[in-house]
Amino acid sequence: MTRVAVVKRVGGRAVALETTLLVHGVPTSESMGLASRLCGVVRASGADPAVVGVVRGVPTVGMTDAELRSMLDAGDVPKANTANLGVLMHRGLDAATTVSATMELAAAAAVMWFATGGLGGVHRGYGEHLDVSSDLGAFTRFPVAVVTSGVKSILDVESTREALETLGVTVVGFRTDRFPAFYRRSSEAGVDARFDDERELAAFVRGEIARTGRGIVVANPIPQEHEIDETDWGRWLGEAEQRAIEAGASGRGVTPAVLGALHEVSGGATLRANLALVEANARLAGRLAVS
Ligand code: PSU
Ligand code: MN
């Protein structure tokens, strides 16, 4: 049960968008442009975009452009998941919310649709320790449908899929039978069910969330024309991981470090793919929200 009081500035057909993706997932020069394209895409579907984050300690569903701008200008913004969200609020700080924290705040504001790029998941293990994102457990607690291109192949995709299964989280595929791997349309892993029709998918998700009070993963593969070649991907990932290890990334710093290195070693190709798939997810979430 969610007891967070949030500032809510969004209409009835809301689609949540997360700030960690905007602040830590893409270069800062891209953040405002991406935010405005995502909001535009959601509006074009007839739904209402709501950028979610913590503004000077206040959990906010529907941040203004000025609030996002000042978060970006501040630099070095903390990344909030469900574990440290309350501490950052208590201290009155700005924070970018990950999938798990965004789900918590969206649920508190009765927003059930959320579009992102990729979920966090089970890391491949750079260090000696287990590193599993709080995103996975959030689906067992918050009644929010997250439209995502699966999990990035910087993670252990198949283990992440198994972890969702262990937690009893429903994973449905939109026009796919496979669990997508972000830059790639498919992986070794499957989904619980495939839906080809948007209206049927929207009806199922609404009914399921009402029935269970838990979240659902809606997997939407990257558009075909933006999928990254498998050989390129393997080479880039190897180099990016090496750079992240050399930079000494750990804990919450791992995902942003590997992403940043990837965008560099791929000459921007992974960034372009990333932007394209998030937009596609925002479009689908908008359509489902009004369906
Ligand atoms: N995947 C991406 N881009 C991102 C993230 C994931 O392709 O920016 C962000 C999301 O906010 C996700 C978070 O919730 O990383 C997961 O971080 P961690 O591994 O520290 O839980
Ligand atoms: Mn982690």
pLDDT, tens digit, for every residue of 64-101?
999 999 999 998 999 999 999 999 999 999 999 999 99
Ligand 1 atom 10: the closest Cα is on which residue? Answer: 98
State the residue for tokens 């269970």: 212
Domains contained in the chain, CATH given: 7-290 (3.40.1790.10)
Pocket test for ligand 1, best of 98, 148, 153 (most atoms within 8 A of CB): 98
The pLDDT value recorded for residue 3 is 72
Which of 152, 227, 241, 279 is an active site residue? 152
- H/E stretch holding 223: none
Instruction: Identify the residue with better confidence: 289 or 250.
Output: 289
Q: How many residues does the chain have?
A: 291
Tell me which amino acid residue 255 is.
T
Dihedrals phi, psi of 174, to nearest 5 degrees: -90, 110
Residue-wise pLDDT for 106-122, tens only, equals 999 999 999 999 999 99
DSSP string for 147-180: EE-BB-TTB-HHHHHHHHHHTT-EEEEES-SB--
Distance CA 283, CA 288 (A): 9
Spatial CB neighbours of 11, under 8 Å, sequence gap ≥ 6: 48
Q: Count of alpha carbons within 13 Å of 248, Cβ hemisphere only? A: 0
pTM, 2 dp: 0.96
Residues with CB under 6 A from ligand 1: 18, 20-21, 24-25, 81, 98-99, 117-118, 120, 133-135, 152, 252, 255, 259
